[in-house]
Structure 1
């Protein structure tokens, strides 16, 4: 009876999604790594937010024989891509390194690795988020008997959500400029309303957050639109909608190109 074991796995999470469970991420080995794994009968199993490599125990000896690539430890390369356009909008791609690799021999979270080759490959493939290099055999393993006894290695990749200035655009008849936007949780401050002309010629009142806010699939923010003085205020909108990835735009804020999320409110 054949016996199989888990060689390693890579777990994915994303700040934008509820409970961190991402959708639309595609993690697969590079062509070279895929050919190597296939030659040794390693099964590559995508499992939602996790990728697992499974091998028959009898094939471990063959893998051990090829633990080196020339004079260097063999690396397995994986490519993490955005299969949904939404992912490129809600991910802070500027904060992503070109390549990730383990920090030492132990499994766990991966750390950035600078690489010119990775920069070039990313420019050629705009859907590629990051490349991941993992050792076939970690440096602390001395012989095949020890390798056969080590527990499975689990590596974790956490993607950061994009942070943007939230810009509420009020269309229609509003009692401006005597309106203000309030965060009921007291975490975010907003600027004064400013008149703005939209590309289609329509006039709107724009209110921007004074700091960047993290995009979330199910935002917990409680922003409220009010009018009047602090002693005699009236609520115009009890709870404003939160920003969506599709509202991403870029504009100059104090002469600095800034990611802005536009949110339209009609009246």
Structure 2
């Protein structure tokens, strides 16, 4: 691109992630399909990528040429990018992408996806495959399209929902224990005695409903001794679930993903 060229942003994509405290994804890799790479290089497009965003821009003088190739056969030309994550542990805190999601009222569009391209049966499948239209629907002339450039898209990744299982190890004798949500939103089962595979006896309580995994869980669960009058708070804020400690258990006859959280006396 020459120094005098006028740079125009065609489109941008940002990826949010429900797991992280700031709401943005981490360590993403946007890998263009071969056909997309060839097409963009032919027009001297610049593709910028970072941990959670993709941006595509071009010299203003190239817009008529791009417009002339807005169709690919019988359909609109799509710019395809496979989305990968550089964190090997991302599968613990990222739900599979099965839908493009719903639109929001801030003017940012839902990132269009090719859901068939990201099927789990594919070798080394991506998190998702972006299928970005070169010319958005409704742009019926070069003038209309060029005046509305810099289309913004957003993809939201979800975190898993798991049953939180608190495992109390150590000496808790003489106490009737209960886990209480200080906000009053989430309930827990009564404490029950269980024996671990190593023979250790523990006390266990599970959330009665799945809870979203978060980098910094907002919940404030407390361990209380209900034998005391008045009942006494033993731990004012129990630790939250870590994404790596996921197990499958049968809870009330149903296979359930469980997060184990160990608490020692």
TM-score relative to the length of structure 1: 0.87
Tell me the equivalent position of 2:48.
Answer: 45
**1:260 offset after TM fit, Å?**
0.9
Tell me the equivalent position of 1:266.
Answer: 264
CA separation of 1:119 and 1:145: change in aligned 2, threshold 3 A = closer
2:7 to 4, 9, 17: 4
1:29 to 28, 32, 39: 32
For residues 75 and 100 of structure 1, what CA distance do their matches in structure 2 show?
19
For residues 56 and 175 of structure 1, what CA distance do their matches in structure 2 show?
73
Tell me the equivalent position of 1:108.
Answer: 109
Unaligned segments of structure 1, at least 5 residues: none
Q: Is 2:75 the partner of 1:72?
A: yes
For residues 103 and 53 of structure 2, what CA distance do their matches in structure 1 show?
17
**1:62 offset after TM fit, Å?**
2.2
**1:201 offset after TM fit, Å?**
3.2
Q: Is the deviation greater in 215-224 or in 133-142? A: 133-142
CA separation of 1:172 and 1:126: change in aligned 2, threshold 3 A = farther
- Any idea what the Cα deviations from partners look like across 1:221-264, whole Å, max 9, x if unmatched? 11111123374322222211111111121111122221111111
Runs of 4+ in 1 over 4 A off after TM superposition: 98-103
Contact 2:100–2:111, Cα closer than 8 Å, also in 1: no
**1:53 offset after TM fit, Å?**
0.3
Tell me the equivalent position of 1:83.
Answer: 86
CA separation of 1:102 and 1:78: change in aligned 2, threshold 3 A = farther
Give 3-state SS (helix, strand or coil) of 2:135's partner.
Answer: coil
Contact 1:192–1:207, Cα closer than 8 Å, also in 2: yes
Unaligned segments of structure 2, at least 5 residues: none
- Any idea what the Cα deviations from partners look like across 1:96-149, whole Å, max 9, x if unmatched? 21667999xx96124676x5x4354x3224552222212111232223233222
